[in-house]
Chain A
Amino acid sequence: MKKRRLWSFPGGLKLPDHKSPSTQTPIAPAALPKQLVLPLQQHIGEPAEPVVNLGERVLKGQVIATAQGYLSAPVHASSSGQVVAIDNLPIPHPSGLSAPCIVIETDGEDAWGERQPVENYRQLNPSQLRNLIRQAGIVGLGGAGFPTFIKLNPGPEPRVETLILNGAECEPYITCDDLLMRERAEEIIQGIGVIGHALHARHCLIGIEDNKPDAYRALAATATEGIEVVPLPTRYPTGGEKQLIKVLTGQEVPSNGLPIDIGVVCHNVGTAVAVHRAINLGEPLISRIVTVTGSAVARPRNLEVLLGTPIRHLLTQCDTEIDCIDRLIMGGPMMGFTLHHDAAPVIKTTNCLLAGLQEGSRQPPVMPCIRCGACGEVCPVQLLPQQLYWHARAKELDKLQDYHLFDCIECGCCDYVCPSHIPLVHYYRYAKSEIWAQEQEREKADLARQRYEFRRQRREREQQERAARQQAKKAAVAPSASKTDKQAAIQAAVERARAKRTAQKKTIDETPPSQ
């Protein structure tokens, strides 16, 4: 096999991967829970709008909430049952706040609604395919949750050179993509067919870190013409979209641009499977593979989980000692966030549940920055994390933007190596939200200023008009306003008044009596 040339991105880390505990057993279906809690927002963008009523019986795969606006995705019932609540409930979100959810009490029949598979997707045009994928509620399954159909819309002219499938899975502990690639290589390749057709992509590269040899072999054996499976050196964060594109193509996505700007579109392997199921089997996105692992989990493994399954339900299935969990993380240990409650459900972006870490996390106390520069050495974006830290502490928001704060991908490399144990990423997130808040304030202020300006101008105009009117009146009166004509003026006014009175009297007389 000819070896493909690979590139490298700056910085990055070799991390202990902790992947083996959850790869010992094949993917198993998770048990059907009594209740499914489906948040209306499981993706980036606008939340969906409920289209079911309380007490309504729904079937598996039935739309229960429709997309609202362009950047949105519908939600489907993941099993059959009855809608018992539409209410604010805990969701997996860093804020720990509750959000609107549809609760379905399952009936245990798991009965499918109507499914309409496409017989030959090649007969459909890209726009029809996109529509079907949109209706299937598919969002990126890698973790960010960007609605997939938007990424399948490359613009007016087809200019996609390369379709990249992200199977890097660089975060420690997470193995859902690994197992998916090992067991469902066929479905991934089928999904690539659909996506490739929708995008008119010339060729497809599947990037897999070389710590997943089984996944590589499975995909390489199944890959068809035009699909190349590429083993990548294991280095965090190779799975970052921009980093992966750099490693595979040598090209850098412009800092404020998108992969499409350099002719590349990148999808997660899980998304490809979801697309295949939506088009070829007519199944919307109602389940996903979730890695359940961590020091508190006695039987770490990967489960195929219906969306909306409460996390506690999954943890108990893997014999987790809930009391031993020091922190419950959704996602990986580097970029995932801690959950405030295990009652929250699995959503479209839940790739991993990490209950407790096998090794030490950041140790207090936080010491002063010694400017060692280790953070800068590992930064995959080549930022100056310590400068960002100083400016974030000093709340110098303009400076932060000068130092490209918004290019930070929050991968956590700087934080991982910091000998002073400074929560660097936390500072950056805080600074970003401060800047957003300030921008919102500014927009509000701009609007208020505009409104004020408008009002002022209107008042001025009115004043001017009034003045003009008065002047006109004066001008009309002026010729008779001389001292000698005063008498005449008074006479004229008296006459005018008399005339008015008679006119009024006349109108009243002429008015027909009311009936």
Chain B
Amino acid sequence: MPFQFFSSPHLHQGKGISQLMFQVIYALVPAIALYVGYFGYGVLINIALAVIAALATEALMLITRQQPLTPFLTDGSAVVTAVLLALCLPPLNSWWVPVVGTAFALIFAKHLYGGLGYNPFNPAMVGYVLLLISFPKEMTTWLPVQELAAQPLSLKESLTWVFTGTSVQGIAIDALSGATPLDYTKTQLGLGQPMAEIRTHPLFGTLGGKGWEWINMGFLLGGLWLLYKRVISWHIPFAMVGSLLTLALLFQWLDPTTHPSALLHFVSGGTLLGAFFIATDPVTAAATPRGRLLYGVGIGCLTYIIRTWGGYPDGVAFAVLLMNMAVPLIDYYTPPRVFGQNRRP
């Protein structure tokens, strides 16, 4: 009896791209729950809008590019991009902010480069940076933590605000908004306030910004789970957090009055989301072990530089995009030593 030909190996672990992507989403659940707890329903609305926009854009682009719909729509990559982007947005936004950001990310940063696997830049970060530099007002109008807010908004009120721009209680968004801890620190340092005084502001809790510190712990938890599940390797998060903390400790030691503590850097802004979820995006990160260390160190250092001397309070997104550019070069110069060979090529 004749049989069909197959090429070896004949076994496969079974895990596909969609499993990897959904594991990333599961790992985000604790942080999302904490985020909603501290900042209200706006976070969920952002995520929902971004995911819907992502799937619609993805489908449209696949049709335009004449690619099969099912395998690519279900691979989970668009959803991950959407969720990551949504988590970077202020918790209460006009509906078009997440929609425009996601659509731009998927069309310009992903599909115009050839779709899944071919994009040189992290799509979520491209979307975020587009929004940040094009709509600075919308992107810096952050809600304060709910315990500091005058009135926490209900789901219905949040939805109304997102879609109509008016609050049920007639309160303008300006009355509800405030600065993020990193933003506040930067402004106050610019005004010559010493660090010790800044830290006494009610925005700050025990480790860093109130609420922010625990959301970041959520990212850390999810990140460690991803490490345990071997979805990501330790190199990038370790190198990025390590280099950021090293620089922060160094400057804290040199002059603690004008430099935020390393701990504040650790639990603020995009540090842990960036380290475990954004910088580790396989498509755009370095692929060799030593390359990943270099890539992580690059992001950590650039983040510190932009936070400290740059024009933006947080620098993770810019740092990631800048290092994305260096990835081909890094990979080229960091191949591992081949078994049985003495010299590197």
Interface residues of A, Cβ cutoff 8 Å to B: 9-10, 15, 96, 172, 242, 246, 252-255, 257, 312, 322-323, 325-329, 331, 333-342, 354, 357, 359-363, 365, 367-373, 376-377, 380-384, 386-387, 402-404, 407, 410, 412, 415-421, 423, 425-426, 429
Kindly report which residue of chain A lies nearest to residue B16, judged by CB atoms. A419
Chain A residues with CB under 8 Å of B140's CB are none
A326 vs B10: C-alpha distance when bound (angstroms):
11
Chain B residues with CB under 8 Å of A387's CB are 287, 331, 335
A336 near B8 (CB under 8 angstroms)?
Answer: yes
Q: Does B336 contact A (CB under 8 A)?
A: yes
* Distance between A431 CB and nearest chain B CB, rounded to angstroms: 13
Q: Does B345 contact A (CB under 8 A)?
A: yes
A416 near B340 (CB under 8 angstroms)?
Answer: no
Chain A residues with CB under 8 Å of B192's CB are none
* Distance between B83 CB and nearest chain A CB, rounded to angstroms: 17
Given A252-B340, A255-B339, A404-B345, A341–B8 Cβ distance below 8 Å?
A: no
Kindly report which residue of chain B lies nearest to residue A380, judged by CB atoms. B339
Binds A, one of B57-65, B99-107, B113-121: B113-121
Which residues 287-311 of B have a CB within 8 angstroms of A?
A: 287-289, 292
A257 vs B20: C-alpha distance when bound (angstroms):
39
B9 near A333 (CB under 8 angstroms)?
Answer: yes
Which residue of A257, A357, A403 contacts B11 across the interface (Cβ within 8 Å)?
A357
Q: Does B202 contact A (CB under 8 A)?
A: no
Q: List 22 A-B contacts (CB under 8 A).
A: A325-B1, A336-B8, A338-B5, A340-B5, A342-B1, A357-B11, A361-B6, A361-B10, A363-B14, A367-B16, A367-B17, A382-B337, A383-B338, A384-B288, A384-B335, A410-B8, A412-B9, A412-B11, A416-B9, A417-B15, A418-B12, A425-B7
Which residue of A10, A341, A404 contacts B341 across the interface (Cβ within 8 Å)?
A404
Q: Does B206 contact A (CB under 8 A)?
A: no
B40-63 vs A, CB cutoff 8 Å, 1 = contact: the mask equals 000000000000000000000000
Given A255-B338, A363-B14, A382-B339, A335–B3 Cβ distance below 8 Å?
A: no
Which residue of A325, A336, A386, A429 contacts B10 across the interface (Cβ within 8 Å)?
A336
B10 near A329 (CB under 8 angstroms)?
Answer: yes
Given A10-B336, A370-B283, output 14 extra A-B contacts at Cβ < 8 Å.
Answer: A10-B339, A254-B340, A255-B339, A255-B341, A333-B9, A335-B9, A359-B11, A365-B71, A371-B117, A382-B338, A407-B341, A416-B11, A420-B16, A429-B7
Chain A residues with CB under 8 Å of B289's CB are 376
Chain A residues with CB under 8 Å of B3's CB are 325, 327-328, 338-342
Given A407-B338, A407-B340, A416–B12 Cβ distance below 8 Å?
A: yes
Interface residues of B, Cβ cutoff 8 Å to A: 1-17, 19-20, 68, 71, 75, 77, 115-118, 233, 282-283, 285, 287-289, 292, 331, 335-342, 345
A257 near B340 (CB under 8 angstroms)?
Answer: yes
A360 near B12 (CB under 8 angstroms)?
Answer: yes
Which residue of A96, A252, A419, A429 contacts B17 across the interface (Cβ within 8 Å)?
A419
* Distance between A227 CB and nearest chain B CB, rounded to angstroms: 27
A257 vs B339: C-alpha distance when bound (angstroms):
12
A403 near B335 (CB under 8 angstroms)?
Answer: yes
Chain A residues with CB under 8 Å of B4's CB are 326-327, 338
Which residue of B9, B117, B340 contacts A368 across the interface (Cβ within 8 Å)?
B117
Chain B residues with CB under 8 Å of A423's CB are 7
A188 vs B335: C-alpha distance when bound (angstroms):
42
Chain B residues with CB under 8 Å of A341's CB are 1-3
B116 near A370 (CB under 8 angstroms)?
Answer: yes
* Distance between B258 CB and nearest chain A CB, rounded to angstroms: 40
A322 near B7 (CB under 8 angstroms)?
Answer: no
* Distance between A508 CB and nearest chain B CB, rounded to angstroms: 79
Kindly report which residue of chain B lies nearest to residue A413, judged by CB atoms. B9
Given A368-B118, A381-B339, A322–B12 Cβ distance below 8 Å?
A: no
A312 vs B3: C-alpha distance when bound (angstroms):
12
B1 near A322 (CB under 8 angstroms)?
Answer: yes
Chain B residues with CB under 8 Å of A96's CB are 5
Which residue of B13, B117, B335, B342 contacts A370 across the interface (Cβ within 8 Å)?
B117
* Distance between B292 CB and nearest chain A CB, rounded to angstroms: 8
The 7 closest A-B pairs by CB, nearest first: A412-B9, A368-B117, A255-B340, A372-B282, A426-B7, A333-B10, A381-B339
A503 vs B11: C-alpha distance when bound (angstroms):
94
Chain A residues with CB under 8 Å of B115's CB are 368
Chain A residues with CB under 8 Å of B331's CB are 384, 387
B338 near A338 (CB under 8 angstroms)?
Answer: no
Kindly report which residue of chain B lies nearest to residue A368, judged by CB atoms. B117
* Distance between B179 CB and nearest chain A CB, rounded to angstroms: 37
With most chain A CB atoms within 10 A of its CB, the pick from B116, B283, B287 is: B287
Kindly report which residue of chain B lies nearest to residue A326, judged by CB atoms. B4
A381 near B10 (CB under 8 angstroms)?
Answer: no
Chain A residues with CB under 8 Å of B19's CB are 419
* Distance between B1 CB and nearest chain A CB, rounded to angstroms: 6
Which residue of A252, A383, A421 contacts B16 across the interface (Cβ within 8 Å)?
A421
* Distance between A403 CB and nearest chain B CB, rounded to angstroms: 7
With most chain A CB atoms within 10 A of its CB, the pick from B7, B115, B285 is: B7
* Distance between B264 CB and nearest chain A CB, rounded to angstroms: 32
B10 near A327 (CB under 8 angstroms)?
Answer: yes
* Distance between B252 CB and nearest chain A CB, rounded to angstroms: 34
Given A341-B3, A376-B288, A253–B10 Cβ distance below 8 Å?
A: no
A368 vs B77: C-alpha distance when bound (angstroms):
12
Kindly report which residue of chain B lies nearest to residue A362, judged by CB atoms. B12
Chain A residues with CB under 8 Å of B233's CB are 373, 377
* Distance between B291 CB and nearest chain A CB, rounded to angstroms: 9
Which residue of B14, B340, B342 contacts A360 across the interface (Cβ within 8 Å)?
B14
B20 near A372 (CB under 8 angstroms)?
Answer: yes
Given A382-B337, A416-B11, A371–B5 Cβ distance below 8 Å?
A: no
* Distance between B20 CB and nearest chain A CB, rounded to angstroms: 5
A423 vs B6: C-alpha distance when bound (angstroms):
10
A253 near B340 (CB under 8 angstroms)?
Answer: yes
A252 vs B13: C-alpha distance when bound (angstroms):
29
Kindly report which residue of chain B lies nearest to residue A325, judged by CB atoms. B3
